[in-house]
Amino acid sequence: MATNRREYELLKEARDRLLRKYAPGTTEKRVRWSGGGTQALEIGDGPALLFVHGGLGQASDWAPIMARLSREFHVYAVDRPGHGLADSFDYRGVDILSHAVVFLKGILDELGLRRVPVVGNSMGGRWAIELALREPDRVSHVILTGLPAGAARELPREFYEVPKLLRLIQRPVIGPFVRNMMAKPSSREHARKGIAGMVSHAERISDEILDAGTFNFIRNRRSMLSLVEQGTDKVGMVPEFVMTDKWRIVKVPTTFLWGEKDVFGSPQLGREAASKMPKGKFVLIPEAGHLPWLDEPEKVAEEIAKAIHIM
């Protein structure tokens, strides 16, 4: 229990440093949903805008664009279950897409939000799509930053290194040693190499982003591994996640902000998906990867605001 508390505190301290750097004035509050508790970040005034982070990420991942968007919107970013400072969550045996809708509806209700635009990345993008499919009256616009989970069945080979590391740091003898090494400032270059597959310009990623990511990974290793094992198989995403022709039935206006160098799938995938949708739009983000706002924060923030204004 003491170890768990220490891991929580280390992550909280790292997130606080990250928010002070990129989004000073951000407030945090604990919110409840039917499956437990989580953490919500808030900044700004104006119309509500909800951010849903990707797999193995956390709410503070959005910090580099939160301040810019807070000039026009009341920005909310929430930790998905088992990520960030949320309660731990065991995804084994869970219908993840149904769970996603229950969670997001619960958060909207708790925050007093009737209908909002939702920005999602990767797994968070897939959750946003599922909410739009099942509860279209709660979502005014979906904005997908980076390839959403399920846009393709296959996953890049590098992805399968992640569960290997998650299993390693849980081993009773070597695990504590590896976690301790990961948490040292000297390990930031290893963290930078790890994020290099997700962005085009890893050299631009700040220490604050790297540290928050590392401590998130350490604290939530068990929840994250259960999510990976439940949501993927030897080929890639489990079949029920894959959109294929489901794009045609998404009625909510949807904008793809697709990194030109997204390792999870080429821009052509996004163009084809948008072309199938009644209200789909595709925007290419040049020189950006799977987390395009970390490569091109001003461009991505501008396109998010533009998408909402013209919806």
pLDDT, one tens digit per residue, over 103-138 is 999 999 999 999 999 999 999 999 999 999 999 999
Q: Which stretch of DSSP H or E encloses residue 163?
A: helix 161-168
Task: Record the pTM.
Answer: 0.96
Closest of 291, 292, 284 to residue 256, by C-alpha: 284
Closest of 216, 196, 219 to residue 208, by C-alpha: 216
Q: Considering the chain, what percentage of its residues have pLDDT values greater than 90?
A: 91
pLDDT score for 1: 44
What average pLDDT score do residues 26-50 get? 97
**Residue 11 corresponds to which amino acid?**
L
Give CA–CA dist 107/14, Å, rounded.
Answer: 24
Where along the chain do its domains lie? 2-309
**Banded pLDDT at 3 (limits 50, 70, 90):** low
pLDDT score for 173: 85
**In CATH, which superfamily holds the domain spanning 2-309?**
Alpha/Beta hydrolase fold, catalytic domain (3.40.50.1820)
What average pLDDT score do residues 89-113 get? 98
Contact 169, 201 (CB under 8 A): no
Q: What is the CA radius of gyration of the chain?
A: 18
Give CA–CA dist 285/273, Å, rounded.
Answer: 16
Give CA–CA dist 70/80, Å, rounded.
Answer: 21
What average pLDDT score do residues 26-39 get? 97
110 burial level (CB within 10 Å; 0-12, 13-18, 19+) = middle
The answer to which of 27-36, 45-54, 97-106, 182-191 has the lowest mean pLDDT is 182-191
